[in-house]
Structure 1
């Protein structure tokens, strides 16, 4: 079983418009409401593939109740940790060409007892999990090392641990030695403290991160696919989306595909990129079903270190 932890889940409202112009009045052609948050999305994609999964999240107010309601038809088992403040709502505006502008609320402020309850439940669930996947931003009240603490707790419980986070939370998590991290290009550059204009730059930083104690690094590169660096090698996988309807949740789908296929090696990387590519062809933050995948179209290469990543949307 794969258990996901999402400290800052959300209700994701996606608004489709022809073209967004600052300061103008826009008329939406369509609106979607989806359950959101990185770990929630990973669990949704896994559930769609009939992979045993469970989503752990703090839940508050009518928004939290609505989030659980939206997950029920997708057959995602949910463990809710009650909190006093309402779950946040996010908005994504998607233009006809797929350009996506996101407006994310900061989320509720968790009390010390609510944070402790979330950790306790994560530890309990990790004891029967193959993977504990801790993801996303941290709401107010959570310490920067929450993901790191969950890495250590997951390992003590016997689970492998994956982290998809950013900023100080990702840096702290790396020091705890997770089995896998899944940054995008921007997040990896922030972790490295420098610009990463080529695939070779990304490869070097991924190797530096591994040397610091991280088991494997899976970097999502938007239109440039994804790079995987493990103890046995490095591979780059690429595919082409037939249409780009929304990039929201594509990185989460990538991580789900990687874990679903075993969480290691070029075969898992191929499936990961197939998932990410399928996700951008779906409206809102919908997660792909296996029938949406075009795995045969994914090309896995040796790493071309000269490949420019200028303009990559990750």
Structure 2
């Protein structure tokens, strides 16, 4: 089954999904861009969990609009500097914000300082009237984040404090045990596969208490691997993914250099339509979603 397709959904008979949001803006880095979930028809060539969430939120809501300001490789301060003002100018009533992961994997990444910086951003977004969704990091040894588990755990607890202070929603990837399955991850062990993005999108919608059509997918268990096979896989990963990543860090280069936001203007999720400009009022007049 292709997880890039909607699963078992009768769109013609689908009722409107009840929720209060009309304009959704996603902020973040490669996780929010959707790296690991290639889709040539999507802006930037990736689909990802944010697109999947927007697809579900738009069903039955003709005035729903979605923008994605994420750029791969961005650090938290870069996200604040480059995405916060554009986000506020779009006047969203729903914002997802995932940031800090690229900082944590670098030497000296301070989970307390990062959370303090994020706190002020969430306060600004909340005072602007948006429901804010924050992401904690997953608890898995299959990714690069598993190597800094203690820092990740501290950051996650700080995020819960930030969310409680500003009535934000936590999208809890730490408790999402399905992410322990290697097939949830891209071969680089840092980004998620299409199956991982699908699973995370469903979790986000559940966290927002929104009914959705994303059915859980249960892949067959992996066959057991010998020690030699596992070791060979580690060596291939190190050569193809880890070494290039380390070289970029040493050269102070980012994978997002020269890349712009994925969907800078809010517009209808499905089908043709003219994106709504930054200075316009609440979204309206979007075309009926085109079902494929």
Fold shared per TM-score above 0.5: no
Structure in which a larger fraction of residues adopt strand: 1
Structure in which a larger fraction of residues adopt helix: 2
**TM-score normalised by structure 1 residue count:** 0.30
**TM-score normalised by structure 2 residue count:** 0.31
